Structure 1
Amino acid sequence: MRKLKVFLAVLLASLSLHVHPSEIDSLLRELDMSIRNRPQYTLKRQEQIDALQRKLRLSHSDQERYDLYRELFGKYRSYRMDSALWVANQRVELAKRMKNPLYIRSAELNIAEVMIGVAMYKEGLEILDGIKSADLDASGVSYYYYQYHQVYTLMADYAFSDQMKEHYRGLAYQYKDSIISMRRPGSQGYLLMMSEKLLYEEKYDEAIEILKSCYKTHEEKGYSVAIPSIGLANAYAFMGNTELQKKYLAISAIADIQAATKEYISLWKLANLLFQEGDIKRAYTYIECSMQDATFCNARYRTQEISELLPVISRTYENKLKEEKTQMVALVILTSVLLIILLIALMFIFYQMKRLNVARKAVNTMNEELKHINSDLHTLNDKLQESNQVKEEYIGYVFNMCSLYINKQEEQRKMLARKIKTGQLDD
């Protein structure tokens, strides 16, 4: 039955739930930028902590100091576990001095939270077991149950056998109901825990509707969307929708990085997902960032989770770098060979151009000589034309003289003939 539900959920997801690839690319680029700007976000959070510490030094009453320590613990809890533990111990001492049992139990719960956060589950459970819910107010009881839920959830994740995993998951599930019963219906805490319960019960569609409502509320009110986003990512992971899982992991990671949260889950889960898809460079950057932050925070269980992935991703990334280096060397060699060939070709072209210039100069010289010869020929032609014209004039003159002479002889012949006819022989 469970497998059938999962199959149907996957089928529905593939038919109805889609995310545009460019949206994820845009989110990943924003996440890359956030990681590069991480020192600025850390500095901003440290400035907030420094401001609270200045207020502590100027405080005048134990009540004021106790409230400031509570606020300071909130700044340290997902930032630096060792500092959070110091603040929690200061709260315990101050509460004892104030002789306020409710304050003492609240501060002890802070210590238990830190113990659980640094993977000291036994010590955390001992503190929790030493506190009675009857000694707490309503918000304290909810916090008390949440710490039990958290420790059993983590113990289930790291349990050695499947039987132990199911045992601890069952205990954590019982505390989900306890937490829900202590929170105001419709509140964000109530809805988020209800979504976790629905996810455990494989009611994914209902859980997603609740988480989307929480996400919208957090976004509208300017709250961090990291928690509802990681919930949505988990829901879509159960449904097999990798694209939407990746989208909400990226959104959660951006919110965590920009809030200078050092203890988180979204970024290293996203690194694992990208690693499986072959985006090795981003996966390495994200897992390295996650390890640095977890180490800075001293969140041991996060360090343990990340350390299982880091060597695999790191080794693959190094192999990829070696491969790229080999390709780069081959490319450099090929480029060098091509450059040598290009230089030889350029030298040959230069030599040919030089010969062409010499030939061009020779042709130009010959052209100049031809111009001179042509000029001489034109001059000679002009002279020949002038000589021919003179000859023609002389020939015409001779022909004219001959014609006149012939005409004169003809007239003389005619005159002699007339004289002969008239008998003038003496004349």
Structure 2
Amino acid sequence: MRFYRNFICCSIALCFIALLCVPKSARAQSHLRPLFDSLNQTIAAAANYDSIKVREIDSIRISTGSQSALFDKYLKLYSAFRTYNYDSAYSYAQLLLKEARAENNDSLYVLAQLKQGFILVSSGMFKEAFDSLSVLQGANLLPAFRAEYYTLLARCYYDIADFDNDKYHSPAYNALGGRYLDSAMVYYDKARFEYKYYGGLKAIRRGQKQKALKFFNGLMAQKDLTPHQLALTASTLCDLYIHGKDKEEAIYLLLRAAIADIVSSTKETTALFNLSTLLYKRNDIAHASLYIKKAMNDAVFYGAKQRKVQLSSILSLIESQRVANVENQKRNAILYGVIATLLLLLFAGLILIILRQMRKLKKAEKTISKAHLHLQDSNARLEEANKIKEGYLGYFFNGNSEVYAKVEKFKKSIERRVRDGKFSEIAILINQFNLKEDKHELLDNFDRIFLKLFPHFLEQYNALFTPDCQINLGEKASLPTEVRIFALIRLGIHDNEKIASILGYSVHTINTYKTKVKNKSVVSNEQFEQKIMAIKSVQR
């Protein structure tokens, strides 16, 4: 029992150690699993979405139109490339400027200058962006252009603040960005996406959480957002949760934003970068590694310099941790192997012990069965002996009482004749006392009682001989001498001298009878007496 208890304790301990070795990331974020799966599938299908984008661009390129429609064509191509590829977008921005100058159209020139400023800000070229936008400083811009102009300046300062990410310069840049965004908000229609989005962004930068939530939750509830607008809204809203305690909600929003970015083939994005950073901090290295690589590929494809710098810093950390995790997994695999081996050895040991115990039990069962059979045989012998004892005790007392009565009668007759002096009559009385007849009567009584105790003796005795040698008593119940010899043997009297004394024969005569009978039997001489002893007495 002690071994079994120790075995169970060891098994539980080994299983507990194995459970502790399971990484936390494998047990976390279970309710977000469908979104993770969706993002993984979207990443796998990214090439398909990009091919749709390329076909869209090609259809614009091959479109034909008048010379006056060339600016619109360049503008469409610029719009298609501005979040997809920096080099192509910048090239078309330059073509927009060239065409605006060729047409000598101030409004088109301002628009082209704004588009160039946007693409420079998006690529992280802040000095060049300021230089491009400074051309428009003091110009008499249309309201729509003023909104875009101030928004670009605000974006530029906000991005510089995020890039510096310190307590010395970032607050000043955020303040400048906020002032420019205040100016831009004056020119946006309050019903449009831009007003709500930049209103929420300004509230986030100023720490006005509830106001920001009101703007962004309103946008998230809208059903008419484009994938790019949804990505912008979700990735910006998650900032409120990243700096708070609800990291799960931040991950949820970034997962949705990342999916929308890939579907819209947006390469200039922060969703995957921020998502990778959060997952890295939560030790979900497998997902963090997958997403940071995708983010880096997108940044390289787009050509965003500041984004590549940001991504490089976290990419090295994630990859080093991934390598460390691989090593841990190898060590865990070895540990699992050792644990599994130990468990197998323990089970093998238990099986060997069980088999050994089963062999002992079988051996004990055989011993018990043998002892039981021996006990049954002994009980049968005892029961048989009791029956024989009861039968012959009755015969003994009856016989003794008859003998006693005869002796008593003979004694009184002698005494009476001695007293009367009739000595001649005494001799006559003595001659009347027939011992031979009494002996014969004694043996007949023995035969009668024996056959009563062993009613099938003669039948089974005859079965040991051929039909011509079998005994048939007929009407008389007396046994032949040779049968009587073996009846005495069946009663347990094996000594030839005792048998000879009981039957009134010499030992030689008894041996002669036995040999003669055995020679007639159909079984061997050695087995004959065993067969005689196997004959059963009467059953109750």
Asked if TM exceeds 0.5, the reply is yes
Which of the numbers 84, 90, 98 marks the counterpart of 1:85?
90
Cα distance in 1 between the residues matched to 2:95 and 2:154: 25
Aligned residues: 343
Alignment of 1:71-150 (within 5 A): 71-132=76-137, 134-150=139-155
Give the aligned partner of residue 293 of structure 1.
Answer: 298
> Residues 242 and 250 of structure 2 are in contact (CA less than 8 Å); yes or no, is this contact kept in structure 1?
yes
Cα distance in 1 between the residues matched to 2:183 and 2:469: 139
- Residue 315 of structure 1 deviates from its aligned partner by 0.7
Q: Which runs of 5+ in 1 are unaligned?
A: 1-19, 344-380, 400-427
Q: TM (normalized to structure 2)?
A: 0.58
Give the aligned partner of residue 321 of structure 2.
Answer: 316
Cα distance in 2 between the residues matched to 1:146 and 1:211: 18
Q: TM (normalized to structure 1)?
A: 0.72
> Residues 42 and 262 of structure 2 are in contact (CA less than 8 Å); yes or no, is this contact kept in structure 1?
yes
Give the aligned partner of residue 185 of structure 2.
Answer: 180
Cα distance in 2 between the residues matched to 1:54 and 1:118: 27
Give the aligned partner of residue 33 of structure 2.
Answer: 25
AA at the equivalent of 1:176 = L
Superposed CA offset, 1:82-137 (max 9, x none): 01011111111122222211111211222222222222211111111111464432
- Residue 81 of structure 1 deviates from its aligned partner by 0.2
Cα distance in 2 between the residues matched to 1:265 and 1:127: 24
Give the aligned partner of residue 375 of structure 1.
Answer: none
119 and 21 in structure 1: CA distance in 2 versus 1, 3 angstrom threshold? closer
292 and 221 in structure 1: CA distance in 2 versus 1, 3 angstrom threshold? closer
AA at the equivalent of 2:200 = S
AA at the equivalent of 2:300 = T
3-state secondary structure, aligned to 1:148: helix
Alignment of 1:54-73 (within 5 A): 54-55=62-63, 59-73=64-78
Superposed CA offset, 1:351-409 (max 9, x none): xxxxxxxxxxxxxxxxxxxxxxxxxxxxxx999389469846x653999xxxxxxxxxx
Decide which moves more: 329-338 or 273-282: 329-338
Give the aligned partner of residue 35 of structure 1.
Answer: 43
Cα distance in 2 between the residues matched to 1:62 and 1:72: 16
> Is the aligned partner of 1:251 residue 2:256?
yes
- Residue 182 of structure 1 deviates from its aligned partner by 0.8
Give the aligned partner of residue 8 of structure 1.
Answer: none
> Is the aligned partner of 1:205 residue 2:284?
no
Superposed CA offset, 1:266-285 (max 9, x none): 11111111111111111111
382 and 99 in structure 1: CA distance in 2 versus 1, 3 angstrom threshold? farther
Q: Which runs of 5+ in 2 are unaligned?
A: 1-27, 349-459, 478-540
> Residues 238 and 249 of structure 2 are in contact (CA less than 8 Å); yes or no, is this contact kept in structure 1?
yes
AA at the equivalent of 2:146 = V
Point out the structure with the larger helix share: 1
Question: RMSD between aligned alpha carbons?
Answer: 3.3
Superposed CA offset, 1:163-209 (max 9, x none): 32222111101011111101001321101111112222322122112
- Residue 265 of structure 1 deviates from its aligned partner by 0.6
Greater Cα radius of gyration, structure 1 or 2: 2
- Residue 238 of structure 1 deviates from its aligned partner by 3.4
Where relative contact order (Cα < 8 A, 6+ residues apart) is larger, the structure is: 1
- Residue 245 of structure 1 deviates from its aligned partner by 1.2
> Is the aligned partner of 1:396 residue 2:401?
no
329 and 262 in structure 1: CA distance in 2 versus 1, 3 angstrom threshold? same
Which of the numbers 34, 51, 61 marks the counterpart of 2:59?
51
AA at the equivalent of 2:311 = I
Cα distance in 2 between the residues matched to 1:174 and 1:389: 140
3-state secondary structure, aligned to 2:266: coil
Task: Report % sequence identity.
Answer: 22
Cα distance in 2 between the residues matched to 1:321 and 1:339: 26
> Residues 117 and 300 of structure 1 are in contact (CA less than 8 Å); yes or no, is this contact kept in structure 2?
no
- Residue 216 of structure 1 deviates from its aligned partner by 1.5
21 and 328 in structure 1: CA distance in 2 versus 1, 3 angstrom threshold? closer
Alignment of 1:317-332 (within 5 A): 317-328=322-333
Which of the numbers 265, 269, 277 marks the counterpart of 1:264?
269
3-state secondary structure, aligned to 1:119: coil
> Residues 83 and 268 of structure 2 are in contact (CA less than 8 Å); yes or no, is this contact kept in structure 1?
yes
Cα distance in 2 between the residues matched to 1:114 and 1:133: 22
> Residues 178 and 202 of structure 2 are in contact (CA less than 8 Å); yes or no, is this contact kept in structure 1?
yes
- Residue 158 of structure 1 deviates from its aligned partner by 2.8
